[in-house]
């Protein structure tokens, strides 16, 4: 740590500054290349990347994906009438036209489309002559009161109330199963993959806007995986606008900080180049921008700016003893490249710990962020000083800086009071209280998503309002845990299998948090009753295999697979809170233990709740592992740099306090530990350590020069305090814009990172000197 | 739009005539060795939902109400249907009927020819008889007939009868210690289902089944006569005495209800009109005579029909929840306890429930919770 004070120029410095033009050309060429690559980056939301593919639940789910067919991949469109009810000519006509419009949307599984107007929605009735039945909509049009009365009767007989027809008769659902790929209308032999973004846009355009605008008495509510993904993609695109806002605010802050347009612009340009490189590299490595990794450019930009500011700041100081921009830049580089690289590498290594989590999006986020900070080493620690050696800093700015260093500064003077022997103990006590409070309150943090509906989106988003509408008006839950019952072929309908499934259904139905359970057994019992003239006394499984086979043949698609070797059991839950999920999966596992035989295996899990349960398990398992690793890495980096355990403690304790308090903040705001917030821990610690490193390395320098602690700290603040505070605000601004994202988890990440960046800065300024008072021995450090 | 479903009945007719009756004959003559096949029985799960899920029959044991239904659920209420307790039961099968001969001794029957007995007013139950085997197919490949019991009635604490599908008729002379298959006591060569059995005051027993079949016994179960002149050829799901000697009321599919004043010799249709004067089309499932003389019959689609004049005329109520109902019990205060798809429900004298007062309301929006 003493090398960068020697006047002899290190090798790196000589290589860079003796070949400035060549370096610039290389940078320009690379920027053009990566710039081109960056324009090719596309938003993607791959479902598989968001789930822990290695978790046994997910392995089971993927193994049986084809067996469950389209189960679940459908959208539901509720067509509601505000005034009056569905028994009106106006409503039925509109519904028919919407139905027809939906029918022709690309990707719709037309044969299985269900609505009041499709012939597969039927009523049945038992008569002396057997079954009587027909399509619910038996008339081509509903013009008269008699027609509408017949419709009412048919609906009552159809058993669709609560399913296709709202409990209050003010809306009905069009159930639209989707095909993942469908034949190209122009060329039937070619298969087109369903584009969720495009499909969602068509829904908005051709269904929602079209019919709501035409008739204000009609409102359209759409839910389903495809719609949710479409909304997420929209959200990603909107986030790009925030980048502009972050850019602008940062520029203004830079101007205020440097009072120099030239250096502000250069810093900004270098940071944007870092972003371009990062995006270009992402594309080159074959990644797209998903809702998580889209946040990396913000971080890269902010980190780039913060390191750039250190360079500019150092240059302004070095101007004092330098004749020209070239020498100043060179000296600034020399004084900063080691702490800069240490800080950036520790950021990068912190992000690499994200690879420990078995969820692809988090891994890719880790890779993207590591690549990003790697890029900053080149763009802001190398390119920026080179550029600045040509451009130089405005004279006014240099003069101002000189004044500030020579003149006493009130703010830094009072802050340096934190190192005062009387103040330091108070700070330490406060910190201990902070730890105690944070640990106590942070215990309330829950694993997983806590909000109802689609947790990816905001509670007041269009999608969640629609979801809420459908849950309120229909007997349905949007949280489904699917248990896959696997048997040898042709055994799914065996009495033994069905009986075991029936037991599972009832055991689950009696569990707190479970609303109901549905499977082919539920259907079979109803069909057997129907085959026995509708007598309630026959609502039981038959030991007659022929009866069971007949019964399940009437079950809807997806209730069992083609070879009758798999039957999903759908368990509807109250919510997807971690408690509910754990209780449900534990109950199923216990049941499986008891009921699994040679032939019948009960496997977890599919359905959104199954996926979330698996994700929660992985996250809970990874949380501590990741936290320990990221701290271990950061501690190691500091240890290597400063070769002192006392130094490490001074830097790490404020960081740990931030982590603990961030946890409490999560508990307070009701943000769970989930895919989105887990990386925040690594990002917050990895980046947060920078402040400590910069402050401590300066402090150490002054202590070695023999200054007493408070004075050394004051000098530190005078030289680097401004840069550190500026860094804190820049980083906070970069992430604070996410708080306004339409995507809920981005907003959560924004809140937490903003808090962590600001508090880390505060912690470094306030607690570090107090700890130094107790931990450091200035007399022994003097050389 | 009729999709006649007569294949099932006709094919069974063939089976029964071809020789399955022979299979029934085997055990028929033997007094069953009453080693109950109960090794594979699992006790019913005690569940808060037991009184809220499918219940099929309701009876009185002294002042206590006892109801039976799905998954071996037996629930009882000591406050006239306000609160229910679940009795531990040794089975998870669907129980179809219950009968108490006095305030202590009762029997419940169900699928797998299950017969349970309680000697403590319904608080605990033991298996007396069970036959989960299904008859093997005959040479023609038909068969696999299950043996669910559909109704039970005890003449006194010793002699009782249980009737079921495919002409199954069991009898005990020792309070259920041993049960004898006496199916051939009744002339039913086609093996039609027996669906309900009732006592007609001072007259005898009356038994009804599918395809309009009716049987009567003037000596309360010892000898049986098959009626040939039936008023209707659809299935009967229920039958009840009206409290007057010789008077029988029977009902079944599509709102069909007939009344006989001469123990089944001649019948007269009872007209049931819905509140808006349409003909009642719902299936009528179960019902019984209340202690105060009211007749209460219920059916699918939330139908409750009540008569104050021994079944001559009925007032029809269609509950807004349209829940499928299985049976009903008229209480002394005029109110009714209904049982059906969603368990036991208190209702007023017409069969309506106060809004929000019971489980039988449509799903409540969950928004308030959040």
Residues A426-454 have pLDDT tens digits of 999 999 999 999 999 988 888 887 777 78
**pLDDT reported for residue A391:** 87
Contacts of A128 in chain B (CB under 8 A): 232-235, 253-254
Question: Which CATH number goes with the domain that contains A582?
Answer: 3.30.70.1320
Distance from CA of A571 to the nearest CA of B (A): 16
**pLDDT reported for residue A574:** 85
% pLDDT > 90, chain A: 26
Cα A596 to Cα A604: distance, rounded to the nearest angstrom: 12
Nearest CA in chain B to A474: B363
Contacts of B283 in chain A (CB under 8 A): 126, 533-534
Split at pLDDT 50, 70, 90, the class of A630 is confident
**pLDDT reported for residue B164:** 93
Average pLDDT over residues A404-431: 85
Q: Are A384 and A415 contained in the same domain?
A: no
Residue B315 lies in a domain: yes
Instruction: Give the three-class secondary structure for A277.
Output: helix
Place of tokens 């989106």: A457
The per-residue pLDDT for range A215-236, each reduced to its tens digit, is: 889 999 998 878 888 888 888 7
Instruction: Provide the greatest CA pair distance for chain A.
Output: 108
Mutate which of A152, A535, A541 to disrupt the B interface (most B C-beta within 10 Å)? Answer: A535
Residue B66 lies in a domain: yes
From the list B70, B237, B365, the residue facing A539 with the nearest CB is B70
Q: Are A511 and A650 contained in the same domain?
A: no
Q: Are A602 and A706 contained in the same domain?
A: no
Q: Are A367 and A436 contained in the same domain?
A: no
Interface of B with A in 93-152 (CB under 8 A): 93-94, 96, 111-112, 132, 134, 144-146, 148, 150
Q: Which of A275, A288, A280 is nearest to A364 (CA)?
A: A288
CB contact under 8 A, B366 and A129: no
Question: What angle is formed at CA A174 by the lines to CA A169 and CA A180, rounded to 5 degrees?
Answer: 155
Q: Chain-centre distance of CA A442, in angstroms?
A: 21
Residues contacting A9, CB < 8 A, separation 6+: A17, A330, A334
Residue B1 lies in a domain: no
Is B30's Cβ below 8 Å from some Cβ in A?
A: no
Range of the domain at B265: 6-369
Cα B68 to Cα A172: distance, rounded to the nearest angstrom: 36
**pLDDT reported for residue B361:** 32
Mutate which of A536, A540, A549 to disrupt the B interface (most B C-beta within 10 Å)? Answer: A536
% pLDDT > 70, chain A: 96
Residue A450 lies in a domain: no
CA atoms within 13 A on the CB side of B249: 28
Q: Are A420 and A539 contained in the same domain?
A: no
CB contact under 8 A, A506 and B5: no
- Find the chain A residues whose C-beta atoms sit closer than 8 A to any C-beta of B: 125-134, 156, 161-162, 167, 452, 468, 471-473, 475, 503, 506-507, 509-510, 531, 533-540, 542-547, 574
Boundary (domain end) residue, out of A574, A592, A613: A613
Q: Are A219 and A74 contained in the same domain?
A: yes
Contacts of A169 in chain B (CB under 8 A): none
Average pLDDT over residues A113-141: 78
Residue A311 lies in a domain: yes
Q: How confident is chain B (370 residues) per 10-residue block, as mean pLDDT? A: 38 37 37 54 88 93 93 92 91 94 94 93 92 65 74 93 92 92 88 92 93 92 90 91 93 92 92 83 91 92 91 89 89 92 90 56 32
**pLDDT reported for residue A633:** 86
Place of tokens 């960056």: A38
Residue B253 lies in a domain: yes
Cα A510 to Cα B241: distance, rounded to the nearest angstrom: 39
CB contact under 8 A, A539 and B8: no
Residue A504 lies in a domain: yes
CB contact under 8 A, B326 and A536: yes
Distance from CA of A132 to the nearest CA of B (A): 5
Pick the most confident of A29-33, A643-647, A673-677, B320-324: A29-33
Q: Is A556 exposed, middle or buried (0-12, 13-18, 19+ CB in 10 A)?
A: exposed
Strands across the sheet with B214-217, in order?
Answer: B194-200, B204-209, B214-217, B225-226
Whether the predicted pLDDT of A660 surpasses 90? yes
CB contact under 8 A, B94 and A537: yes
Distance from CA of A528 to the nearest CA of B (A): 12
Q: Which of B137, B208, B186, B184 is nearest to B29 (CA)?
A: B184
Instruction: Give the three-class secondary structure for A743.
Output: strand
Cα A117 to Cα A235: distance, rounded to the nearest angstrom: 34
Instruction: Give the three-class secondary structure for B128.
Output: strand
Beta-strand pair B194-200/B180-181 = unpaired
| Range in A188-192, A372-376, B262-266 with the lowest mean pLDDT | A188-192
CB contact under 8 A, A536 and B301: no
**pLDDT reported for residue A645:** 92
CB contact under 8 A, B195 and A540: no
Whether the predicted pLDDT of A747 surpasses 60? yes
Residues in chain B: 370
* CB distance B232 to B270 below 8 Å: no
Q: Are A395 and A419 contained in the same domain?
A: no
CB contact under 8 A, A542 and B146: yes
| Range in A132-136, A508-512, B169-173 with the lowest mean pLDDT | A132-136
Contacts of B236 in chain A (CB under 8 A): none
Contacts of A126 in chain B (CB under 8 A): 253, 283
The per-residue pLDDT for range A286-309, each reduced to its tens digit, is: 888 887 888 889 889 988 988 888
Q: Could you tell me the two tokens for A57?
A: 């639940």
CB contact under 8 A, B6 and A129: yes
Q: Are A178 and A105 contained in the same domain?
A: yes
For residue A605, is the peptide bond before it cis, meaning its omega torsion is within 30 degrees of 0? yes
B13 or A425: which leads in pLDDT = A425
Whether the predicted pLDDT of A15 surpasses 90? no
Split at pLDDT 50, 70, 90, the class of A679 is confident
Nearest CA in chain B to A509: B49
* CB distance A709 to A773 below 8 Å: yes
Concatenated DSSP letters of A536-578: GGG-S--S-HHHHHHHHTTSPTTSS-TTS-EEEEEEEES---H
Residue A246 lies in a domain: no
CB contact under 8 A, A167 and B8: no
Boundary (domain end) residue, out of A595, A613, A631: A613
Residue A631 lies in a domain: no
Q: Are A79 and A224 contained in the same domain?
A: yes
Whether the predicted pLDDT of A158 surpasses 80? no
Task: Point out which residues pair with A221 in neighbouring strands.
Answer: A78
Place of tokens 């009365």: A149
Q: Are A609 and A681 contained in the same domain?
A: no
Question: Which CATH number goes with the domain that contains B238?
Answer: 2.130.10.10
DSSP assignment, residue A708? Answer: -
Residue B91 lies in a domain: yes
* CB distance A365 to A296 below 8 Å: yes
Range of the domain at A415: 409-443+644-783
Cα A276 to Cα A270: distance, rounded to the nearest angstrom: 10
**pLDDT reported for residue B25:** 37
Q: Are A275 and A320 contained in the same domain?
A: yes
Contacts of A536 in chain B (CB under 8 A): 54, 56, 285, 300, 324, 326, 340-341
Q: Could you tell me the two tokens for B211?
A: 């395809």
Whether the predicted pLDDT of A69 surpasses 70? no
**pLDDT reported for residue B136:** 61
Is B5's Cβ below 8 Å from some Cβ in A?
A: yes
Residue B136 lies in a domain: yes
Residue A298 lies in a domain: yes
Split at pLDDT 50, 70, 90, the class of A654 is very high
A562 or B108: which leads in pLDDT = B108
Residue A619 lies in a domain: no
Split at pLDDT 50, 70, 90, the class of A783 is low
* CB distance A175 to A113 below 8 Å: yes
CB contact under 8 A, B1 and A134: yes
Residue B287 lies in a domain: yes
Average pLDDT over residues A106-129: 80
pTM, rounded to two decimals = 0.81
Contacts of A160 in chain B (CB under 8 A): none
Whether the predicted pLDDT of A96 surpasses 60? yes
From the list A130, A546, A574, the residue facing B4 with the nearest CB is A130
Cα A560 to Cα A64: distance, rounded to the nearest angstrom: 11
Residue B144 lies in a domain: yes
| Range in A238-247, A562-571, A771-780, B36-45 with the lowest mean pLDDT | B36-45
Structural domain total, chain B: 1
Q: Could you tell me the two tokens for A105?
A: 């949307």
Residue A620 lies in a domain: no
Structural domain total, chain A: 4
């Amino acid at each position: 740590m003493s090398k960068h004070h020697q006047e002899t120029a290190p090798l790196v410095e000589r290589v860079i500054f003796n070949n400035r033009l060549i370096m610039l050309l290389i940078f320009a060429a690379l920027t053009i290349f990566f710039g081109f690559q960056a324009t090719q980056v596309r938003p993607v939301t791959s479902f598989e990347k968001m789930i822990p593919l290695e978790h046994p639940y997910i392995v089971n789910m993927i193994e049986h994906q084809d067996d469950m067919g389209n189960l679940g991949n459908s959208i539901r469109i509720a067509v509601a009438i505000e005034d009056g009810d569905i028994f009106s000519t106006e409503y039925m006509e509109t519904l028919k036209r919407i139905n027809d419009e939906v029918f022709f949307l690309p990707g719709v599984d037309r044969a299985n489309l269900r609505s009041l107007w499709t012939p597969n929605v039927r009523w049945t009735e038992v008569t002396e002559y057997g079954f009587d039945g027909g399509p619910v909509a038996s008339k081509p049009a509903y013009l008269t009161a008699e027609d509408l009365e017949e419709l009412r009767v048919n609906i009552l007989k159809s058993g669709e109330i609560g399913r296709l027809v709202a409990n209050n008769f003010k809306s009905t659902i069009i159930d639209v199963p989707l095909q993942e790929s469908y034949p190209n209308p122009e060329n039937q032999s070619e298969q087109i993959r369903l584009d969720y973004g495009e499909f969602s846009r068509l829904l908005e355009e051709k269904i929602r806007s079209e019919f709501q605008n035409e008739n204000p008495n009609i409102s359209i509510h759409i839910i389903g995986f495809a719609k949710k993904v479409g909304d997420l993609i929209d959200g990603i695109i909107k986030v790009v606008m925030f980048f502009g806002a972050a850019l602008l605010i940062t520029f203004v802050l830079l101007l205020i900080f440097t009072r120099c347009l030239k250096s502000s612009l250069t810093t900004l340009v270098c940071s944007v180049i870092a972003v371009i490189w990062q995006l270009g590299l992402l594309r080159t490595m074959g990644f797209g921008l998903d809702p998580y990794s889209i946040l990396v450019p913000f971080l890269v930009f902010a980190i780039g700016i913060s390191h750039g500011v250190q360079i500019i700041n150092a240059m302004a100081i070095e101007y004092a003893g330098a004749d020209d921009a070239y020498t100043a830049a060179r000296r600034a580089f020399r004084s900063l490249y080691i702490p800069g690289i240490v800080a950036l590498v520790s950021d990068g290594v912190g992000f690499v710990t994200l690879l420990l989590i078995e969820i692809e999006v988090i891994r890719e986020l880790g890779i993207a962020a590591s690549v990003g900070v790697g890029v900053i080493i080149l763009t802001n620690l190398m390119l920026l000083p080179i550029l600045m050696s040509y451009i130089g800093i405005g004279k006014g700015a240099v003069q101002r800086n000189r004044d500030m260093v020579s003149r006493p500064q009130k703010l830094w003077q009072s802050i340096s009071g934190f190192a005062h022997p009387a103040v330091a103990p108070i700070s330490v006590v406060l910190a201990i209280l902070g730890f105690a409070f944070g640990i106590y309150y942070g215990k309330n943090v829950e694993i997983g998503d806590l909000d109802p509906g689609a947790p990816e989106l905001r509670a007041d988003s269009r999608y969640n309002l629609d979801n809420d509408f459908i849950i309120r008006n229909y007997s349905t839950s949007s949280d489904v845990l699917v248990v896959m019952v696997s048997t040898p072929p042709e055994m799914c309908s065996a009495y033994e299998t069905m009986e075991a499934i029936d037991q599972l259904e009832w055991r689950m139905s009696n569990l707190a948090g479970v609303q109901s359970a549905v499977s082919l057994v539920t259907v079979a019992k109803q069909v057997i009753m129907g085959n026995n003239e509708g007598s309630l006394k026959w609502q039981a499984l038959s030991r007659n295999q022929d009866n069971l086979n007949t019964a399940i043949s009437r079950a809807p698609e997806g209730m069992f697979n083609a070879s009758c070797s798999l039957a999903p059991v759908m368990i509807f839950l109250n919510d997807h809170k971690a408690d509910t999920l754990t209780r449900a999966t534990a109950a199923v596992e216990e049941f499986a233990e008891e009921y699994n035989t040679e032939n019948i295996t009960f496997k977890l899990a599919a359905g959104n709740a199954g996926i979330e349960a698996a994700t929660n398990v992985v996250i809970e398992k990874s949380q501590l592992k990741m936290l320990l690793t990221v701290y271990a890495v950061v501690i190691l980096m500091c240890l290597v740099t400063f070769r002192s355990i006392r130094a490490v403690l001074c830097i790490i304790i404020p960081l740990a306090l931030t982590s603990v308090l961030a946890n409490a903040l999560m508990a307070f705001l009701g943000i769970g530990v989930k895919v989105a917030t887990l990386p925040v821990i690594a990002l917050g610690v990895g980046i947060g350590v920078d402040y400590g490193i910069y402050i401590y390395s300066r402090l150490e320098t002054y202590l070695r020069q023999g200054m007493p602690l408070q004075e050394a700290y004051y000098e530190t603040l005078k030289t680097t305090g401004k840069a550190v505070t500026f860094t804190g605000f820049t980083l906070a601004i970069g992430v604070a814009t996410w708080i306004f994202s339409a995507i809920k988890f981005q907003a959560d990440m924004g809140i937490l990172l903003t808090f962590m960046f600001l508090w880390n800065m505060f912690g470094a300024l306030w607690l570090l000197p107090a700890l130094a008072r107790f931990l450091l021995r200035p007399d022994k450090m003097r050389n | 739009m009729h999709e006649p479903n007569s294949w099932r009945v006709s094919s069974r007719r063939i089976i029964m005539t071809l020789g399955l009756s022979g299979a029934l004959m085997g055990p028929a003559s033997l007094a069953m060795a009453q080693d109950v096949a109960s090794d594979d029985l699992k006790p019913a799960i005690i569940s808060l939902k037991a009184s809220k899920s499918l219940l099929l029959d309701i009876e009185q044991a002294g002042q206590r109400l006892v109801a039976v239904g799905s998954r071996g659920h037996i629930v009882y209420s000591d406050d006239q249907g306000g609160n229910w307790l679940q009795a531990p039961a040794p089975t998870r099968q669907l129980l179809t009927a219950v009968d108490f001969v006095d305030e202590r001794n009762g029997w419940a029957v169900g699928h797998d020819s299950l017969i349970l007995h309680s000697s403590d007013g319904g608080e605990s139950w033991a298996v007396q008889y069970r036959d989960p085997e299904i008859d093997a197919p005959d040479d023609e490949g038909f068969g696999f007939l299950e043996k669910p019991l559909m109704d039970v009635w005890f003449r006194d604490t010793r002699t009782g009868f249980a009737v079921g599908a495919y002409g199954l008729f069991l009898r005990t002379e020792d309070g259920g210690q041993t049960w004898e298959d006496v199916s051939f006591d009744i002339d039913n060569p086609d093996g039609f289902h027996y669906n309900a059995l009732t006592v007609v005051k001072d007259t005898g027993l009356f038994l009804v089944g599918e395809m309009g079949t009716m049987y009567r016994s003037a000596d309360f179960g010892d000898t049986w006569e098959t009626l040939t002149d039936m008023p209707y050829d659809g299935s009967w799901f229920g039958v009840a005495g009206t409290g007057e000697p010789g008077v029988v009321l029977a009902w079944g599919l599509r709102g069909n209800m007939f009344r006989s004043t001469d123990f089944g010799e001649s019948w007269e249709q009872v007209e049931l009109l819905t509140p808006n004067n349409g003909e009642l089309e719902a299936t009528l499932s179960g019902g019984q005579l209340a202690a105060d003389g009211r007749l209460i019959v219920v059916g699918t689609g939330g139908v409750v029909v009540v008569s104050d004049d021994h079944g001559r005329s009925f007032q029809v109520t269609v509950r807004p929840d349209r829940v499928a109902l299985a049976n009903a019990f008229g209480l002394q205060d005029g109110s009714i306890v209904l049982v059906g798809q969603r368990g036991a429900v208190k209702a007023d004298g017409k069969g309506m429930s106060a809004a929000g007062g019971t489980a039988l309301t449509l799903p409540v929006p969950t928004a308030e919770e959040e």
